[in-house]
Every structure is written in structure tokens, then in C-alpha cells.
Structure 1
Amino acid sequence: MSTYKIVSDTASDIFPSVIDYATMSRVPFYVTFDKEHYQKEMAELSVDDFYNHIAKDKVFPKTSCPTITDYIDVFEPILNGGKDILCFCISSFFSASYQSAVNAAEMLKEKFPERRIEVIDSAQATAGMGLVVYQSYLMLEAGYTLDENISVSEQIKRDTVINFTVGSLSFLQNGGRIGKATALAGTLFNVKPIICMRDGELFPIENVRGIKKAVKAVIKKTDDEIDGNESDYLISMFYADSRADIMDTIAEHYSDSKYSFSDNLFRVGATIGAHTGPDVIALAYSKKYNLYTK
């Protein structure tokens, strides 16, 4: 039996069927549609309800990170059960979730001096973070010690990348990621941005006309970066509330490849979907954990 348990905030967007929740716990973000009433992601607001709300009411939701108390409420029962904790948080560039977890860990040290709470800034979000957390889970299942898991997870996160595009620029504009003029021009000329996330930050790559060309650009960029080393990587498509034909295009491209490809590990949840909107299409890739030195 493992001596530690994995904890993640809900920005990791892993499908519940993928993880054994006896081995992992999650700390929810908060979502509001009116800036007054907040709901806990997953616990009080499902992914389907979130996207249905956006489609029906044409609103731009806001998010708030877990509090110190939220983390303590998850950490304390694990510590009482005699286990250490390995906690992953969304990139600290985007949220204070990491700081909340660190503060909670510090507050619990005096009460549980014999236990360890290790908090990792994943430097990622959604499926990029999900791949980091998922591989940590696989290492735990494979018998890696806490220190071995930390060492390899820190290496994995540096080699994890998301390439994505969005169908509408309005959510990025509303969240302050792009200016109003850029969003307007993108809408008028059907321009879609290709964006990369690595090392905790977003990097604009190029703009293309139309969603189908944008998806092809995301695929090409991902293939170019992996550069023939398909068997060394986990790669996953992830989506929000997107068109089935677009997702089928990606799945078909990778159907006969040497990648460890999955189209059913991740769906963009409310934490990230509030900023990207329902039409985000992306690929995330991560080098396999057994290729790193413990």
C-alpha cells in the first residue's frame, strides 16, 4: 500500500473514469455566472451544466481559486489517515491556487510534524496539467516512492506542452488575454490563433483563417515538435463543447500512429473553459515517466 496520496486542484481536467479516487483527491475551483453566487466545480457544477449555461444565457463566467481552508479540508483527513501528500496545482502564472496549497501545508505542519505535504506548481493547466498528474498517478501505482515521484514529475512538467486553438476570441478578450481590437478583427476575418502553453505561460504562435486550418496547424506543430519520437510520448486530444467532426479529424490523424494517443482522458472543465470558451480544440503531449531517471 502506498504511503502517500495525490491531490490536484480541478484545473487538471482528468475524466473521473481514468483515476482511482481512493488514490487521488481533488480540490475544486469556484465558478460564478453573476459575480455573486459561486459554485464548486465538479462538486456543485458539472461540465455539461457549465457549457449549457454559457450556451443558453450567453454569459462570460468568472472563476475563483480554492481557498486555504479548502485545501486544509482535503489535506487533513489524508494526514489523519497516516499518509503523506503530493499536491499538484495549476500554473501559478494563472492562479493563486498554488499559494493557497502552500499556505495550507505550512499551517498543518505543526499539527502533523511527522507527515509530509509536497506542493508542485505544475506549470500547466487543463490536459497539460492532467498529463503531469496522470503520470504521477501511474508512478504511485507502479510503486515509486514520494521522492522518486516528485523528482520525475518535476522533469515531466518541463517537457509537457499544449498546442491549441479557439473557435471564438470573445472569451480570451473578456478575460484580458487579448485586446478588443484583436478580438474584433479575428471575428470579422475568421482568424483563429494558434497558441502554445509551456513552462507555465501562453505563447502566441501564428494566426490562420478558419477553424479547420487552425486544427491542422495544431496537429502539424505538435508532430513537428515530437519529431519522429512518437513512442516516447503520451499525447491526448482534449476539447470543451466542440464539434464532433473536428475531434474526429484529430483522432483519425493519430489512429495508425506510434503515439500513445488518447481521445478520452480529458475534457476542458469550468476553470479553463471560462477563459477559452466552448470551442477550444487542443493537443497536449508529455514524455513518458519511465524515460526519466528517478
Structure 2
Amino acid sequence: MSVKLIVDSGSDLPKDILEQHDIDIVSLIVHLNGQDYYDRDTIDSQKVYDAMREGSAPKTAQATPDTFYDVFKQYTDEGRPVIYLAFSSELSGTYQSAMIAKQQIEDDNESAEIYIIDTRAASMGHGLVAYHTAKAIANGGSVQDILDTANFYVNHMVHVFTVDDLEYLQRGGRVSKAQAFVGGMLKIKPLLHVEDGKLVPLEKVRGSKKVIGRMVDLAGERGNSLDQQTIAITHGDDEETAQKLAEKLKEAYNPQDVIIHQIGSAIGAHAGPGTIALFFLDDVQQ
């Protein structure tokens, strides 16, 4: 039986890729204005961004073990191997929920094959790992070959991103109130990346125009063989800036493809509107 690939909504994968590769998606939970929603199911990111601009402070919660149990079991009951690629365990407890469900199923069914990989990634960093893993499945590789492919992309994914307003990071405890105030006054744009699954400050750039140019430069400094890669850009309701970044990347490096997608509710609730994120590899698979 063919391998079944599952991700969660922290991957921000576009709908057409999910459908093309038959990838199942597990929703993270978004708390907004006293109500609970399922990311990409009962709420879309536009509603979250609009609410944040009006002063709301949404929160998120991990998917539950019961949810994963139900999703995994429908495929293990068919005898299909399951691969779940998880949103970074440093940013969500969703990975741990999946591990609990895996153990419950395997306790009852010794032949069940469930493989769970912590991508240590977020948004389309996570999504690109899944995208390439799905292509490995389509190419008919063995389970081990597919897992090796996934782990290669996990180990070589680079995230570079900036936020429009430091206040959103302050709400989530990423920067202090004083830093957010001073940064806003000086129009400082923070650049961050992901290191070992955690959000880590990279540098500060003054002004929106300069930060896009710096992101392009960082792709050249940290990336490898960008002309052989599919690069991804995600944005917090700012497609115009995302398109500008894509144009500059194409001019500078001529990548094979650039995927642009809006950041989903779960990650957008923390990063806020105006976020721009770039994802590429520091090595390519030969």
C-alpha cells in the first residue's frame, strides 16, 4: 500500500499542493474573541489578520492526541504506512500529541507503521519539507528512501523572516515592551531565523525597503545552488511585498520556482499582519 503523508496547518501548504499530492492536514486550534476555531477549516487567516489590526490578540493551541489517533488509525487499519511531518516541537506541543497517538495505535496493532518527524520548521519551511517528501512518495521510493528525503530537507531548510510590527512579537513574548516601543519609533525591522526549531533574532535593519534587499542578500549568503531550488515566500496579508521579494530573488538567482502563499491562522496569530518570510536550502540533494 502507498505511503500516506500527513502534515498540520503549521505547514502553510497551498491547497493545490495538498490536493495534487493527496496530503492530509491536521488543524491547529485558534482562540479568537472568546471562540475556538480550527485553522484552515472553520477560520481563515484573513479573519485573524483583520481582528489583529482591530486590536484582538488571538492565541493558539496544539492539535490533540485524539485528533491524531483518528487520522492515523484510518490509514493503519488499511495497512498503509503513515508519515507525519510535524510543526517544530519547539514552537508547539502538536508533535508530542502525535507521538502519544502513535503509541496508542502501536500498542493495539504491532504491524502499524507510523513515522513521525519533527521538521524543526514553521510555515513553508515545514511546507517545503512536505512538498519534497510528497514528490519522493510519488516517485515510488521505499519508506526508508522517503524518510531519508524528508530528513535531508529538515536538516538543510533555512528560514529568514521579518515582521511589520514588533508589537505582535511582544504580545507573544518574543521581544520586550521596551524593545517593541523603541523599534517602532526608529522604524527598525527585525530579521529572524529558525535555529534548532526555535525563533532566533538574526539582525536589525532600518526601513522596509532595506529589509527586503537584505533578505535577498541573505539568500545568496546562506543558500546554495539557488538556481536548482524551489523557494517559498509566505506573507501576512501583504502579497504586494511578497511579489516584490519574489521578483528580486528571480533577478538575482533564477530559482526553478517560487511558491507564494499567505501565512495561515495558527502562525499568523503570533507573527501578525505584514510578516514576510523566505525559505530556501543551504544544500541541494544530488
Coarse TM-score class (shorter-chain normalised): over 0.9
Question: Which whole-Å CA distance do the structure 2 matches of 1:237 and 1:7 have between them?
Answer: 22
1:89 to 82, 86, 91: 86
- Provide closer, same or farther for how the CA distance between residues 138 and 178 of structure 1 changes in structure 2, counting only shifts above 3 A: same
- Equivalent residue letter for 2:2: T
Report the equivalent of 1:14. Answer: 13
Post-superposition, which runs of at least 4 consecutive aligned residues in structure 1 deviate over 6 A?
A: none
Structure 2 SS opposite 1:161: strand
Give the secondary structure class of the aligned counterpart of 1:60: coil
Matched, 1:181 2:178: yes
What pairs with 1:120-159 in structure 2 (closer than 5 Å)? 120-159=117-156
SS in 1 for 2:146: helix
CA separation of 1:80/1:135 partners in 2, compared to 1, >3 Å: closer, same or farther?
same
Partner of 1:225: 222
Q: 2:236: which partner in 1?
A: 240
CA shift for structure 1 position 208: 1.2
* Residues in 2 aligned to 1:155 and 1:104: alpha-carbon distance in whole angstroms: 25
Aligned residues: 285
Deviation of 1:260 (Å): 2.0
**Which piece of structure 1 moves more, 74-83 or 276-285?**
74-83
Stretches of structure 2 that go unaligned for 5 or more consecutive residues are: none
User: Who is 1:53 aligned against?
Assistant: 51
Q: Give the TM-score of the pair, scaled to structure 2.
A: 0.94
The structure-2 alpha-carbon separation of the partners of 1:210 and 1:289, relative to structure 1 and needing over 3 Å to count, comes to closer
Query: Is contact 1:233–1:287 with CA below 8 Å preserved after alignment?
Result: no
Distance in 2 separating the partners of 1:287 and 1:267: 24
Cα RMSD, aligned residues only: 1.8
1:205-245, Cα deviation, whole Å (9 max, x unpaired): 21111111111111111111125x2234321121121151x
Shift in CA distance, 24/263, structure 1 to aligned 2, threshold 3 Å: closer
> Which amino acid counterpart does residue 19 of structure 2 have in structure 1?
D
**Is contact 2:229–2:284 with CA below 8 Å preserved after alignment?**
no
CA distance in 2, matches of 1:149, 1:241: 34
The amino acid across from 2:40 in the alignment is M
TM-aligned CA deviation for residue 199 of structure 1: 2.7
Decide whether aligned partners of structure 1 residues 200 and 108 sit closer, same or farther in structure 2, where only a CA change above 3 A counts: same
TM-score between the two structures when normalised by the length of structure 1: 0.91
Alignment of 1:1-294 (within 5 A): 3-20=2-19, 23-34=22-33, 36-55=34-53, 57-226=54-223, 229-242=225-238, 244=240, 246-256=241-251, 257-264=253-260, 266-286=261-281, 290-291=285-286
For residues 122-145 of structure 1, give each alpha carbon's deviation from its aligned partner in whole angstroms, at most 9, with x where no partner exists.
010001001111111111111112
Give the whole-Å Cα distance in 1 for the aligned partners of 2:140 and 2:153. 18
Q: 1:288/1:223 Cα in 2 relative to 1: closer, same or farther (>3 Å)? A: closer
Matches of 2:284 and 2:68 in 1, distance apart? Answer: 27
Question: How far 1:111 moved relative to its partner?
Answer: 2.8
| Aligned sequence identity (%) | 26
In 2: Cα distance, 1:274 partner to 1:180 partner: 18
Distance in 1 between residues matched to 2:184 and 2:285, nearest whole Å = 44
Greater Cα offset, 200-209 or 66-75:
200-209
Query: Quick check: 1:31–1:64 contact (8 Å CA) kept in 2?
Result: yes
